[in-house]
């Protein structure tokens, strides 16, 4: 088993439906430009209130990915 070196990025996903969808939106978007995604950690959850209900979720996540092996 080889050792892995990880790098993290921090991004914020949004959703009008749920926290889970906001996380999935963030991961899905990151996967378009970053290879080898491995894990995520939710670092902040917040939202917008309209009247007496949550209108919009914002979830900040750190996403870890493995760096390509050097030759």
Take residue 34 and report the two structure tokens written for it: 């970053």
Q: What is the pLDDT of residue 5?
A: 87
Q: What is the pTM of this model?
A: 0.86
User: Can you name the residues that pair with 62 across neighbouring β-strands?
Assistant: 10, 41
Chain segment 19-33, per-residue pLDDT in tens: 999 999 999 999 999
- Residue spans of beta strands (DSSP E) within the chain: 6-15, 37-50, 53-66
Chain segment 35-46, per-residue pLDDT in tens: 999 999 999 999
6 burial class (0-12, 13-18, 19+ CB within 10 angstroms)? exposed
């Amino acid at each position: 088993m080889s050792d892995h070196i990880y790098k993290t990025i921090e991004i914020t996903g949004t959703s009008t439906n749920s926290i889970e969808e906001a996380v999935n939106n963030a991961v899905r978007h990151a996967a378009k430009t970053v290879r080898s995604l491995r894990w995520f950690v939710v670092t902040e959850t917040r939202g917008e209130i309209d009247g007496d209900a949550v209108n919009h979720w914002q979830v900040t996540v750190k996403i870890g990915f493995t760096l390509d092996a050097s030759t």
